[in-house]
Amino acid sequence: MKHVFNKGKDPKKPTLLLLHGTGGNELDLLPLAETVDDQASVLSVRGNISENGMPRFFKRLAEGVFDEEDLIYRTKELNQFLDNAAQEYGFDRDNIIAIGYSNGANIAASLLFHYQHALKGAILHHPMVPRRGIKLPELTGKAVFIAAGKNDPICSSDESIELQSLLENANVNVEMHWEDSGHQLTSTEVASASRWYRSLDFNQ
Ligand code: MLT
């Protein structure tokens, strides 16, 4: 997958996996990683799907309606890419924190829904429920921060709460952050995500 890897100053820190929104690319979220942890390694990936020229991480049938078969395939592809990247760049495969926005948050959530060891944690900006009706792996020890908009036209508050409870039922430690706004990524939610990240065990 097309990507950038920037080796961090502190090898004990997690590797931050950046996953952009629809129409974005691997450069979009680099400033976010800088805000969250400027000592950590960064792996920022471009989605392999092109929707009328707009990069995405999996196909959709309509806005908010996912192509489930492709989602499953692309989630596996990304998980394998992470295995390979960890070997190639020499970072700890078991210490990856995803930071995703919108479509990128959805594939990050899908990694958690399908693979027990894909991620150590995730910051999800405006995610949706990636799949329904499946049993999630046992995810004790994982931590997830969800930023959701009370007036998000793409993801309702109910869906954000549904995602929270699906993850909590798999024993994920979830922190919710609510914005009064819609689907956009705000500076206040990024500041809140950074505070949450700094409060995690490995930063104590
Ligand atoms: C998606 O397709 O992943 C969601 O609708 C979010 C988006 O990318 O617009």
The phi and psi torsions of 49 (rounded to 5 degrees) equal: -90, 140
pTM beyond 0.95, yes or no: yes
Q: Work out the percent of the chain whose per-residue pLDDT is above 90.
A: 97
Distance, CA 54 to ligand 1 centroid (Å)?
11
Q: How confident is the model at residue 202 (pLDDT cuts 50, 70, 90)?
A: low
Q: CATH number, domain at 8? A: 3.40.50.1820
Number of domain units in the chain: 1
Would you call 18 helix, strand, or coil by DSSP? strand
What residues make up the domain containing 9?
Answer: 3-203
Would you call 174 helix, strand, or coil by DSSP? strand
Q: Measuring from atom 5 of ligand 1, which residue has the nearest CA?
A: 64
Residues with CB under 6 A from ligand 1: 21-22, 60, 63-64, 102-103, 106, 128, 154
- What per-residue confidence (pLDDT) applies to 195? 97
Report the greatest alpha carbon distance in the chain. 45
Name, in order, each residue with C-beta under 8 angstroms of 85's C-beta and a sequence gap of 6 or more. Answer: 3, 5, 43, 91
Residue-wise pLDDT tens digits, 119-134: 999 999 999 999 999 9
Exactly one of 3, 70, 117, 183 is catalytic; which is it? 183
Amino acid at 74: R
Task: Please report, for residues 18, 52, 111, 130, 158, the alpha-carbon distance to residue 163 in angstroms, rounded to integers and kept in the order given.
Answer: 20, 29, 14, 9, 9
